[in-house]
Amino acid sequence: MNTLLLEPHNGVLHITLNRPQSRNAMSLEMVNELRAVLAQLDDQVRALVISGAAGHFCAGADVKDLLSADDKAQLQALNRAFGTLLQEVEAVPQVVIVVLQGAVLGGGFGLACVSDIALADHQAQFGLPETSLGLLPAQIAPFVVKRIGLTHARRLALTAARFDGVEAERLGVVHFVERDPQALAERLDEVLGQVLRCAPEANGRTKALLLASVEQPTGALLDQAAAWFAEAVMGEEGLEGTQAFVQKRKPRWAE
C-alpha cells in the first residue's frame, strides 16, 4: 500500500489515510487501495477504524488527478470510482468507525457520512467546498443527504460553508466530539469495547437491516427481518448468546 497504513489488532483493522503532503487528499490510487482492502476483509475483522495521518482526516479529492485526466469520460470514471468506494464502505458488515481531525472536506466529508460511528476533534474543519471551485459534490451528495437531511445538505453544499466538530455533532454528522487527542483516543477505546461486546454476524445483519429501512417498503423489509431473526435465534451466535445469558457469563465473542 502506497497511500494507506494498515494495523490489525484484536479483530479491529486500523486504516490510516497516509498522504500527509496533501492533507490525505483522495487520489485514485488511494480509492483503489481502499477498495482492495475492503474486498479482502474476512469474518476475523469485526470493526474498521479509519483515520488520517499528520493531524488531518482527508481534504477531499486530489485536484492533480482531475487536472491530469485526458477527457470527459476519464473524469466521469474517476468521479464514479469514488462513489463506488462510498457505497462499499457503507455496505461492509463490519462496524466502520471514523476518527476525524483537521480537514474533513469534500470526499473526506463524504467518507465520514458513510461511517457507522464518527468521533471528531472539536476543532476539526468540515465542509463541502466543491461549489466554491466551480465543481459539484457529485458522488458525495446522496450520502450527505442521508446523514443530515436535505435541508442542511442544501445549505452546506450551496454555500461551501466551513464548520467545526461541535457544529458537526449538532447536525448529526458525528456522534462524539472531544477536546483533545487523549480524550479522542479514550472515546475510541470505549466505543470499540461496546462494539466488540456485540456478536459480529448479528451486527452485520442489523447493519444491513438498518440501511435497507431507508429504501425498502416496510412490509417486505419486515418479512425479511423476521426471516433473519429466526435464523439468528437458531444460529450459532444466537444459541451461544442465550446460553451465556442464562449461565451469567460473557458470550465467547466478548471474552
Q: How many residues does the chain have?
A: 255
pLDDT at 79 over 90: yes
Do residues 81 and 106 touch, judged by C-beta distance below 8 A? Answer: no
Instruction: Answer yes or no: do 184 and 204 share one domain.
Output: no
Q: What digits encode the pLDDT tens for the residues 224-233?
A: 999 999 999 9
Clarify whether residues 110 and 40 are in a common domain: yes
- pLDDT(99) > 90: yes
- If asked whether residues 135 and 223 sit together in one domain, one would say no
pLDDT category at 93 given cuts 50, 70, 90 is very high
Residues 151 and 237 in one domain: no
Type of residue found at 5: L
Average pLDDT of the segment spanning 72-97: 97
| 183 and 204 co-located in one domain | no
C-beta separation of 63 from 26 below 8 A:
no
Same domain, 135 and 187: yes
Q: How far is residue 1 CA from its own chain's centroid?
A: 20
Read off the CATH number of the domain in which 69 is found: 3.90.226.10
Domain boundary among 161, 196, 231: 196
**Together in a domain, 182 and 207:** no
116 shares its domain with 240: no
Same domain (yes/no): 153, 141: yes
* pTM for this model (two decimals): 0.96
Q: What is the CATH number of the domain that holds 218?
A: 1.10.12.10
Kindly state whether residues 21 and 81 are assigned to the same domain. yes
Q: How confident is the model at residue 255 (pLDDT cuts 50, 70, 90)?
A: confident
Shared domain for 242 and 135, answered yes or no, is no
Position 63 scores a pLDDT of 87
User: Which pLDDT does position 87 carry in this prediction?
Assistant: 98
User: What is the span of the domain harbouring residue 108?
Assistant: 4-196
Structural domains counted in the chain: 2
Q: Which of 158, 180, 196 is the last residue of a domain?
A: 196
